[in-house]
Structure 1
Amino acid sequence: MQEIVKTIEKIAVLISEELKYADFGYASTQNSTGDTQLKLDVLSDMIIEREFRGVECVKALISEEKEEMLSINENGKFIVAYDPLDGSSLVDVNFAVGSIFAIYEGEISPSSLRGAVYSVYGPRIELCVCLGDTPKLYRLGREGKFAFAKELILNEKGKLNATGATQKGWSDTHRVLVRTLFDEGYRLRYSGAMVSDLHQILLKGGGLFSYPATSDHPAGKLRMAFEVLPFAYIYERAGGATSDGKNNSLLELEISKIHQTTPCFFGSKYEISKMHEIYQSEK
């Protein structure tokens, strides 16, 4: 898998360069879920596909920007599922955004996950790499190479609350959860870019990121294969916990279609325990 990670390092540098000067406008196309694509989404997807075509161990690609799985090397054993530019709608206001990669062996299933990587394009270019053990943070140096910075470990309890989805669609139960955390002194930290918000919680030591079921999106809005599962893989190996609001781990879920969505909660163990306590008591 090191060849895959090295390819992602190269991709991160290429996309970060495009972010500095590229056209921020909309393309004339839509992705699989009907969202109008930004030109940067399309460009980032093209960069990733081009770079992975030369990686023989990668059998196929799954992208937020592609309707179907793309086969590239029939003798490869890994499938890379990715969101090429998470938070791309925030590029025009110069917020940090990123790319998310899940590495599956043979099939798209939580049990087949062998690694997860995400990049953050902010004041610094950073990579979080998790290949089965504790996730590790790398930063791009002046010489153009990524250097190890530290391991990412979540505390038992955090201080941040990043809660997504349109508030008018929240359930009363979710409103209670959010209010409870704020009453306990949690600080709101939510940008609308999943990568940036989850990255902040990881680096600050803990908290809760939630994107619940809502009245307009009862199955959630975030995609399992290339958004939810890779971050679940990272958070649980950082000592945290995850859930869809009912189960004990997002990694218990099964995927029946590549663009399947789910409600999701990521955080320190205390916040996920508090979520279960409130969600069960409010039934």
Structure 2
Amino acid sequence: MNEILKAIKESSIKISELLKDADFGYTSHTNHTGDTQLKLDVRSDELITEIFSGVKSVKALISEEKDEALSLNEDADFIVAYDPLDGSSLVDVNFAVGSIFGIYKNKVSAKNLVASAYAVYGPRLELVICGDKPILYRYKNGEFVAVKELKLNEKGKLNATGASQWGWSKEHRKFIKSLFDEKYRLRYSGAMVADLHQILLKGGGLFSYPATTDAPNGKLRVTFEVLPFAYIYEKAGGATTDGKNSSLLELEVKQIHATTPCYFGSKYEISKLLGEKCE
């Protein structure tokens, strides 16, 4: 595990440097889910692949930018699933973006997720690593320094709600309004990493990306976006759901690029959501 975490740290540093002077243009290719690939997405994926190719404990890599799993060491124990550059379309306006990593043992399933990590490329380079608990690290003087354990309060103040509003269900629209009526503040950038990081550091709230008329199965990917963050949020004392179940960690991984509606937050917001759906 230590060599995997070392590779994640090295990848984060290199991508952070890449972002300072990179080509923001698009390629002529699309990824598995139909998104046109930015040159930054492709180069970030290449960097991570290059670094992990020398990690003997990694059996395979699964990436948002790869159609299929990339086999590395057949007899190794771990599979690393990652989004190389979440929020990449926001780099040209200088918003914070990030990378997400899920570490699975032997097989890609929620039950086999043993650790998660994500990097935030903003004014500072920060990294959250979660085994038994999520720890925030900050890059200083050439190394990552532990700052603090991240914990969510029972109830938050922030509301980061995604997807196009014209596609929301009446139930979701009503629920989001109810949070604003409770004086929650809107905080949504369009980069999952940045928005979930803000809620974690501010102590609570809700991030939601619901089912919509144009994306009934949601938009965010289960394997390398949703499950890694669900693991972190629940280890931080929060809760998650797809809008119906009691935890995103109950989801079954049927395809490596499958998507799902998702809600991450403090226990109050998730309980309120599920309670209202039962009424």
TM-score (norm 1): 0.98
Match of residue 274 from structure 1: 272
- Amino acid corresponding to residue 39 of structure 2 in structure 1: K
Residues 227-261 of structure 1 deviation map (CA, whole Å, 9 limit, x = unaligned): 00000000000000000000000000101100011
Question: For residues 249-268 of structure 1, what are the structure 2 equivalents within 5 Å?
Answer: 249-268=247-266
Asked if the contact 1:57/1:73 (under 8 Å) is kept, the reply is yes
Q: Which residue of 1 aligns with 2:148?
A: 150
Residue number in structure 2 paired with 1:95: 95
* SS of residue matched to 1:162: strand
Equivalent in the alignment of 2:38: 38
- Give the secondary-structure state (helix, strand or coil) at the position aligned to 2:172: helix
| Alignment match, 2:183 | 185
Q: Does structure 2 retain, via aligned residues, the 8 Å contact 1:170–1:215?
A: yes
Structure-2 separation of matches of 1:201 and 1:226: 19
Corresponding residue of 1:169: 167
Q: Tell me the equivalent position of 1:108.
A: 108
* Alpha-carbon separation, structure 2, partners of 1:4 and 1:91: 27
Which amino acid letter does the alignment assign opposite residue 212 of structure 1? P
After superposition, residues 205-220 of structure 1 pair within 5 angstroms as: 205-220=203-218
Partner of 1:71: 71
In the other structure, the counterpart of 2:195 is 197
Once the 2 structures are TM-superposed, how far is the Cα of residue 280 of structure 1 from its aligned partner? 2.3
**Per the alignment, in what secondary structure is the counterpart of residue 237 of structure 2?**
coil
- Once the two structures are superposed, residues 174-208 of structure 1 have per-residue CA deviations (whole angstroms, 9 ceiling, x without a partner) of 00110000000000000000000000000000000
SS in 2 for 1:161: strand
Q: Does structure 2 conserve the Cα–Cα contact (< 8 Å) formed by 1:174 and 1:279?
A: no
8 Å CA contact 1:171–1:214 kept in 2: the answer is yes
Report the equivalent of 1:242.
240
TM-superposed deviation, 1:28 = 1.3
The unaligned stretches of length 5 or more in structure 1 are none
Structure 2 equivalent of residue 159 of structure 1:
157
Inter-partner Cα distance in structure 2 for 1:113 and 1:237: 12
Q: Percent identity, please.
A: 68
Aligned to 1:138: 137
CA offsets 1:108-135 (integer angstroms, 9 cap, x no match): 100000100000000000000001x120
Q: Give the gaps of 5 or more residues in structure 2.
A: none
Q: String of CA shifts for 1:134-155, please: whole Å, max 9, x gaps.
A: 20000000x2100000000000
Q: Give the C-alpha shift of residue 279 in structure 1.
A: 2.1
Letter in 2 for 1:242: T
Runs of 4+ in 1 over 4 A off after TM superposition: none
8 Å CA contact retained: 1:213, 1:263: yes
3-state SS, counterpart of residue 210 of structure 1: strand
Q: Are the equivalent residues in 2 in contact too, given 1:127–1:138 (CA < 8 A)? A: yes
Mapped contact 1:139–1:147 kept (Cα < 8 A): yes
Q: Is the 8 A contact 1:62 1:68 kept in 2?
A: yes
